[in-house]
């Protein structure tokens, strides 16, 4: 009988804390041995000479199979979304389970599980989106769901059907404090966006690029400040998601400097896209409509600075895919009448890691260790998956991404294997690519080919976020 199910030989293993030449022995889905020259045989041996062996990417901010308005269909379900995730070097993704107004949270959770069951190539674990914080939800459902391993929830400060009032935000934060959950905040001021949108529409300025005009930096900065202040009142940690610019970062840094448990996420679109991408002729700009919108070159620089100095704990995709050439997607008829009806979100589940690797590690902005922390380990720590995930350590799940650090790739949509029909990053030249993705010891993608026979990823119940009790050393990098 073989000693191991799988051995990855000859690679350079990178974790958040170091880089070593090391073989990895896997048995029953876990890492069972780490040694410079591992004795023993295995059913499968992968030669990783000249390659990097990293903890598989964890993308803690993705949207799959989410309802997105009448007639609109999200481009990825759990099968296509997690398949694409695996092509991009990810082994776990954290999608959202969205409570519709009037719906019980437990019902929503059941529904998303039924959508995901048997369809995931990577492992998954749900966050909750609280849109209707009734007494029943706050008093009973949320505490019970946190106990069951749904230990993080997202709240929105904008969108008609999702936004919570300050009072409701405080109530949800209070439950998070009581239960030890982590609150994720979408920080944009709803009334300000509504006012600006109505004014733009009255002026006939309805093209896709005015999506960005209707959500300027002040809208995000104000809401970020308010979310932090509310969290301070409750004394609860928060994660400000998809931060796009320096002014919002200044709010976050000020809070961090005061010792508040304020954590932050940014995404590839804020590093490599700008508002001018929304200027495309006809409806082309719709391909880049997401919220907050991409800003300008100075904002990109600011976000890079935040990545380098540890202001950002996590780097996620905010994958929220809609097909372009599709009346159920970006070219929905109503979207032609005003930017406000263009489905809001862009794909990025497969491109997150290669973009940060090439532009961050390759161009000398961050170390490999910081790359691993920002794309895997910190997600595991922030969302209660560590040390089962996010590390290459004895006993951890054998979730690995093997990278060819020299591979030159011109991004094209064909490489991504998602349900979308475009990538906002078409034509981008990158160096470094995840060539093999292994989930729980099973090879899922190898050399551009899906080799998994069937989707066998599982839902993972999570423990408490390490960040809830984190002693503040905001240099997470
Ligand atoms: N917020 C997200 O997190 N994703 C897509 C759209 C949005 O507003
Ligand atoms: Zn959001
Ligand atoms: Zn999102």
Q: What is the pLDDT of residues 388-413, one digit of tens each?
A: 999 999 999 999 999 999 999 999 99
- Cα-to-centroid distance, 63 and ligand 3 (Å): 6
Q: Which residues surround ligand 2, an ion (CB under 5 A)?
A: 186
- Contacts for 432 with CB less than 8 Å, ≥ 6 apart: 354, 357, 358, 361, 362, 403, 404, 405, 406, 407
pLDDT digits (tens, 9 = 90+) for 428-452: 999 999 999 999 999 999 999 999 9
**162 in the Ramachandran plot: left (φ > 0), alpha (ψ -120 to 50) or beta?**
alpha
Parallel, antiparallel or unpaired: strands 429-439 and 400-410: antiparallel
Nearest CA to ligand 1 atom 7: 291
Distances (CA, A) of 381 to 58, 216, 353, 388, 398: 11, 32, 18, 10, 17
Contact between 275 and 212 (Cβ < 8 Å): yes
> DSSP secondary-structure letter at 331?
T
- Contacts for 387 with CB less than 8 Å, ≥ 6 apart: 380, 393, 395, 396
Q: Which of 344, 348, 352, 424 to mutate to test the pocket of ligand 1 (most atoms within 8 A of CB)?
A: 344
User: 338: closest CA among 275, 285, 269?
Assistant: 285
Report residue 281's pLDDT band, with 50, 70 and 90 as the boundaries.
confident
Q: Which of 76, 186, 342 to mutate to test the pocket of ligand 1 (most atoms within 8 A of CB)?
A: 186
Least confident of 29-33, 101-105, 280-284: 280-284
Q: Which of 65, 219, 290 to mutate to test the pocket of ligand 1 (most atoms within 8 A of CB)?
A: 290
Ligand 1 atom index nearest CA of 344: 6
Neighbours of 353 (CB within 10 A): 30
| Ligand 1 contact via 292 beta carbon (within 6 Å) | no
Mean pLDDT in the chain?
97
Residues linked to residue 263 through DSSP beta bridges, in sequence order: 239
- Cα-to-centroid distance, 241 and ligand 2 (Å): 7
- Start-to-end Cα distance in the chain: 42
- Cα-to-centroid distance, 393 and ligand 2 (Å): 33
pLDDT digits (tens, 9 = 90+) for 301-358: 999 999 999 999 999 999 999 999 999 999 999 999 999 999 999 999 999 999 999 9
> DSSP secondary-structure letter at 100?
P
Nearest CA to ligand 1 atom 5: 345
| Ligand 1 contact via 137 beta carbon (within 6 Å) | no
What backbone torsions phi and psi does residue 334 show, to the nearest 5 degrees? -65, -30
- Cα-to-centroid distance, 290 and ligand 2 (Å): 9
| Ligand 1 contact via 318 beta carbon (within 6 Å) | yes
């Amino acid at each position: 009988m073989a000693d191991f199910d799988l051995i990855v030989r000859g690679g350079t293993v990178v974790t958040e804390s170091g880089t070593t030449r090391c073989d990895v022995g896997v048995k029953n889905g876990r890492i069972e041995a780490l040694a410079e020259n591992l004795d023993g045989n295995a059913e499968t041996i992968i030669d990783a000479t000249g390659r990097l062996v990293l903890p598989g990417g964890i993308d803690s901010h993705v949207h799959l199979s989410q309802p997105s308005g009448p007639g609109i269909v999200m481009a990825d379900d759990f099968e296509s979304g997690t398949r694409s995730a695996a092509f991009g070097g990810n082994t776990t993704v954290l999608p959202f389970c969205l409570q519709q107004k009037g719906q019980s949270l437990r019902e929503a959770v059941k529904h998303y599980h039924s959508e995901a069951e048997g369809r995931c190539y990577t492992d998954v674990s749900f966050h909750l989106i609280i849109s209707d914080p009734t007494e029943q939800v706050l008093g009973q459902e949320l505490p019970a769901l946190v106990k069951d391993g749904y230990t993080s929830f997202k709240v929105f400060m904008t969108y008609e059907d999702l936004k919570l009032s300050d009072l409701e935000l405080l109530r949800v934060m209070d439950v998070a404090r009581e239960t030890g959950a982590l609150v994720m905040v979408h920080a944009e001021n709803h009334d300000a966006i509504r006012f600006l949108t109505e004014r733009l529409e009255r002026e006939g300025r309805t093209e896709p690029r005015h999506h960005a005009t209707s959500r300027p930096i002040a809208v995000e900065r104000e809401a970020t400040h308010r979310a932090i202040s509310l969290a301070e009142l409750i004394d609860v940690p928060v994660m400000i998601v998809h931060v796009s610019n320096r002014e919002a970062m200044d709010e976050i840094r000020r809070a961090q400097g005061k010792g508040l448990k304020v954590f932050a996420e940014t995404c590839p679109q804020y590093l490599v896209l700008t508002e001018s991408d929304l200027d495309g002729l006809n409806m082309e700009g719709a391909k880049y409509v997401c919220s907050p919108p991409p800003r300008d070159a100075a904002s990109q620089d600011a976000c890079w600075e935040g990545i380098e100095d540890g202001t950002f704990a996590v780097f996620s995709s905010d994958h929220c895919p809609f097909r372009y050439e599709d009346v159920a997607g970006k070219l929905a008829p109503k979207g032609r009448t005003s930017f406000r009806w263009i489905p809001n979100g862009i794909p990025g589940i497969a491109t997150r890691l290669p973009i940060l690797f090439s532009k961050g590690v390759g161009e000398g902005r961050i170390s490999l260790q910081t790359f691993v922390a920002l794309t895997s380990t910190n997600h595991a720590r922030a969302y209660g998956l560590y040390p089962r995930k996010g590390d290459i350590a004895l006993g951890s799940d054998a979730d690995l991404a093997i990278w060819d650090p020299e591979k030159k790739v011109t991004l094209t949509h064909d490489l991504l294997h998602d349900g979308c029909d475009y990538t906002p990053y078409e034509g981008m030249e990158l160096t470094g690519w995840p060539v093999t993705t292994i989930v729980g010891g099973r090879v899922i993608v190898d050399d551009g080919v899906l080799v998994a026979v069937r989707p066998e990823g599982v839902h993972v119940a999570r423990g408490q976020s390490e960040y809830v009790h984190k002693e503040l050393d905001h240099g997470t990098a």
